[in-house]
Amino acid sequence: MWTLVQRSMGVMGLNCSGDLSNLQLVNALLAMTFKSAGFPHPFRDYGYTTRLLEPAFRNHENKTVNPDLILASRQENHAIIWDVKSGGTVHEEQIQKYLGCSAADLIEQLGIPSRKPSELGVDSAFLGNSAHQEKLLAVLSSYPSVVLMIMDFRSLRVKQGRFLRSGIDAVVQAGISIPPTIPTHLVPLDPKENDKGRLAALVLPTLATFAVRKQQRFNINDVMAVVAPRLFTRRDRISPGSAFVAELRKKTRLLLVEAVREKPLRTYVRRVLDVPKGSPATFELIVRLPLHHRTKVAFLNAISAAIAAQKGQEQTLYVQQSLFPELEEWETMEP
Amino acid sequence: MAVARSREEFIEMFSDRISKANQQLKQGKRLDLEQNLPKTYLVEAHRFREREPNHTRVLKLLRALLRAPRQVLLETKDEFFFAVKLDNVILYIDALETRFWLAHTLDRTVDTDSAVESLVRGNPDLDSAWLPATYLRGEKYGAVNERLGVRFDPVGTRLSLTSTPIPVELQRPTSIEVEAPDIDYIWGVLLQDDKIRRRMPIVRSIVRREFDEGCYARIGLRYDGKITARGPTYPEYIRLVTTVRATYAHSIRQIEECYALRLAEVSTSEPGDSPTVAELRGAPISIEFARPPIDTDILVSWLLYPNGPCRLWGYAERVAPGYYSIEAVDMHSGNPLGIEVGVQEDSAFVRLYLTECSCANIVARLFTNIQQHVDPCAKIYGGDGAELFW
């Protein structure tokens, strides 16, 4: 008999009924350029494989342009400059900067691939939340060549404008149905949002990483070395930018310092204070490595609980008793 | 028990054992207790994924691994070749291909399986090679199939993934070995039955490859990377074994190269003007299940049980009914991994997001165990649409 044990009640992480966040909109847009199970991929079908994230460049009017994303297809000889808006504010200056971008700007400065540069089509598009479509439309309607697409948890549809290429245009004009399974890991963190829960979900599992690697003592640099590849390049100097890197490092340190001070993590990890002045924040696993099975389970539960606490959620653990009878011991186990 | 102190001595011992066992089997006799089939375990040493390895580094790693009492490391006269004594088992580790090792042994399966398991399981730097169903078939290596070993579960797989109660007496799967000259035809007929197709994962196989001038090799392959020598001679055996290794290694490296997500710096025309451009490279990997219905709550608990076959743990967040976003840790290597589990139109899926530091062996481990325990017909493909392990 399969029994589902939920030791504490359900987690509803991202809100599926209200507005989509910037992170969800960006992830959805990017996901549509990959063949991915359980999600539509219209842009991938038309060969959009170049995905530039937050590029900063100057257009031929010498104005700095910083869109959220540029998608480009060699097959269609087409590039789309995207601005993602979870809210309803859009500045005319921003629109004019996008409209001031020529094919040559994109090819020469950003290396956008083009099989025939003189014929590269460049579109500017906004992706917004359906809740704010009226506000966005009020501004964008003065710029009819700009495409406005609106997304919610059901569909993606065009509110204004047409793409220069008929293939992708026909697909989006017909509307794309969006399932609730919007990918979450292509861009795992929004640098502009102060999402402590999301950061905790990325950072605190590294404690398990060090336990597996039998690394008793680690510092904030070690933690960043595990987390960083998911967020920025090795050289740490391009988008989302070094300021973001420094900020993220600071937030990560604060998060860890706080988390290991509280129960239940403090049973397993402590901050090492007797380090030379100026050294990076250092932590130590206070359990014997390699972890014994019982300790491991309790330690992993403690990490889950700490993440759940940061997210303001209750912890959920799904344990199939008949499959893993030994896990029934979890209920009463103390580290 | 004599221990070979060089590759040459080892090859002599291995060859002798293969030919004796082969003669015995040809005469239709059972092997004596001391006449085990020689075998090789494919082992992945991911510490050497990026670093330039050398003999000393491999030696250092092995020394670090073998700290328990009754574990002895013996250096041989040859570079990248080591003899390891684990209780009553001697493994000859050939690390000439420094990431994908061959661990040869002449000892009994009952001892060697557990010895290799304990060596690999207990160390974050090593993993088994996980062979998906297509990699258990001869076609992959220019060979023909002679025998297929399948596990038949009369009520679905061991992991039902539904909340329907299953009588205990039906929960025990049966192993079936099918051997015939026209095995592919028989297998094809069997697969036409939907119930069989969905409930019979290939667990092991025996394949035969003909080489030049009448030479051939017969090997047994098991999904966890175990290869058994079934004759007739060592040179052909090792030729086929290295083909299997090269095929597997190529797939793993290709996944890392093509699908690990990373932000790559795009060179721009005006370096002085400090334009900052990052391009998202790589792609997600999707596993699609063929058999509905699957309860994703149970699937998530199975995936994330840290001592389970997938060896993952993670924080699962329910984003929508039946849809989970998971920040996972590979409990083998410690690498982080993004996972999503969901259902669309009755078809469950798992999406994987590797990063630059990820070891793609986790993809093989996850997919192979899903084929073995959940759905033999599951398919895996990359974000570019290319089917993987195909």
pLDDT digits (tens, 9 = 90+) for A211-238: 998 899 999 999 988 887 777 654 444 4
Question: Does residue B33 register a pLDDT over 70?
Answer: no
Structure-derived torsion over alpha carbons of residues A300, A305, A306, A308, reported in degrees to the nearest 10: 130
pLDDT of residue A242: 65
Count the Cβ atoms, other than its own, within 10 Å of residue B145: 21
Whether B329 contacts B336, CB under 8 Å: yes
Residue in chain A nearest B264 by alpha carbon: A233
pLDDT of residue B372: 87
Per-residue pLDDT, averaged over B262-287, amounts to 75
pLDDT of residue A240: 47
| pLDDT, averaged across chain A | 84
pLDDT-derived band at A239, boundaries 50, 70, 90: very low
- Under an 8 A CB cutoff, do B313 and A108 touch? no
Task: Identify which of B314, B316, B349 has the shortest CB distance to residue A37.
Answer: B349
pLDDT-derived band at B44, boundaries 50, 70, 90: very high
Measured between beta carbons, the chain A residues lying within 8 angstroms of B268 are: 57, 109-111
Percent of chain A whose pLDDT exceeds 90: 61
Whether A38 contacts A32, CB under 8 Å: no
- Under an 8 A CB cutoff, do A51 and B280 touch? yes
Q: Chain B: nearest CA to A266, how far in angstroms? A: 19
pLDDT of residue A189: 86
Residue in chain A nearest B297 by alpha carbon: A318
Residue in chain B nearest A55 by alpha carbon: B277
pLDDT of residue B184: 87
Per-residue pLDDT, averaged over A166-189, amounts to 94
Question: Does residue B30 register a pLDDT over 80?
Answer: no
- Under an 8 A CB cutoff, do B325 and A230 touch? no
Task: Identify which of B315, B323, B385 has the shortest CB distance to residue A180.
Answer: B323
> Strand B285-288 and strand B89-94: pairing?
unpaired
Task: Identify which of A11, A44, A182 has the shortest CB distance to residue B318.
Answer: A11
Residue with tokens 């992480």: A13
- Under an 8 A CB cutoff, do A12 and B318 touch? yes
pLDDT of residue A323: 45
Distances (CA, A) of A216 to A200, A209, A213, A285, B258: 21, 11, 9, 5, 34
pLDDT of residue A96: 95
Question: Does residue B370 register a pLDDT over 70?
Answer: yes
pLDDT-derived band at B133, boundaries 50, 70, 90: very high
- Residues A185, A31: Cα–Cα separation, whole Å: 10
Whether B139 contacts B127, CB under 8 Å: no
Residue in chain B nearest A201 by alpha carbon: B327
Question: Does residue A287 register a pLDDT over 80?
Answer: yes
Find which of A27, A33, A186, A210 to mutate to test the B interface (most B CBs within 10 Å of its CB). A186
A244-274 tens-digit pLDDT:
778 888 999 999 999 999 988 999 999 999 9
For residue B340, which phi and psi values (nearest 5 degrees)? -130, 140
Percent of chain B whose pLDDT exceeds 90: 47
pLDDT of residue B173: 61
Buried b (16+ CB within 10 A) or exposed e, B242-267: bbbbeebbebbeebbebbbbbbeebe
Residue in chain A nearest B124 by alpha carbon: A213
Retrieve residue B278's tokens: 């990052």
B101-111 tens-digit pLDDT:
999 999 988 89
Find which of A181, A311, A321 to mutate to test the B interface (most B CBs within 10 Å of its CB). A181
- Under an 8 A CB cutoff, do B384 and A58 touch? no
ipTM of this complex: 0.89
Percent of chain B whose pLDDT exceeds 70: 87
pLDDT of residue B223: 95
Selected residue with higher pLDDT from A263 and A71: A71
Measured between beta carbons, the chain B residues lying within 8 angstroms of A180 are: 319-321, 323
Residue in chain A nearest B288 by alpha carbon: A37
- Residues A215, B66: Cα–Cα separation, whole Å: 18
Per-residue pLDDT, averaged over A151-156, amounts to 92
Selected residue with higher pLDDT from B265 and A3: B265
pLDDT of residue A234: 43
Task: Identify which of B302, B327, B334 has the shortest CB distance to residue A202.
Answer: B327
Per-residue pLDDT, averaged over A97-110, amounts to 93
pLDDT of residue B352: 98
Closest CA to A109 of A37, A59, A53: A59
Q: Chain B: nearest CA to A277, how far in angstroms? A: 30
Measured between beta carbons, the chain A residues lying within 8 angstroms of B316 are: 11, 316, 318
Find which of A238, A303, A317 to mutate to test the B interface (most B CBs within 10 Å of its CB). A238
Sheet of A217-219, strands arranged across: A217-219, A282-285, A269-272
Retrieve residue B24's tokens: 């015995």
Per-residue pLDDT, averaged over B157-167, amounts to 50
B201-219 tens-digit pLDDT:
889 999 999 998 889 999 9
A293-332 tens-digit pLDDT:
778 888 998 999 999 999 887 655 544 344 444 433 333 3
Measured between beta carbons, the chain B residues lying within 8 angstroms of A109 are: 268-270, 275
Task: Identify which of B288, B302, B331 has the shortest CB distance to residue A320.
Answer: B302
pLDDT-derived band at A10, boundaries 50, 70, 90: very low
pLDDT of residue A2: 31
Count the Cβ atoms, other than its own, within 10 Å of residue B171: 14
Per-residue pLDDT, averaged over B35-41, amounts to 87
| pLDDT, averaged across chain B | 85
Per-residue pLDDT, averaged over B258-275, amounts to 70
B331-355 tens-digit pLDDT:
888 999 999 999 987 789 999 999 8
Per-residue pLDDT, averaged over A39-61, amounts to 91
The CA angle A161-A170-A117, to the nearest 5 degrees, is 75
- Under an 8 A CB cutoff, do B327 and A205 touch? yes
pLDDT-derived band at A1, boundaries 50, 70, 90: very low
Measured between beta carbons, the chain A residues lying within 8 angstroms of B304 are: 318
Residue in chain B nearest A52 by alpha carbon: B279
Residue with tokens 């704010």: A132
Whether B130 contacts B364, CB under 8 Å: yes
Question: Does residue B62 register a pLDDT over 60?
Answer: yes
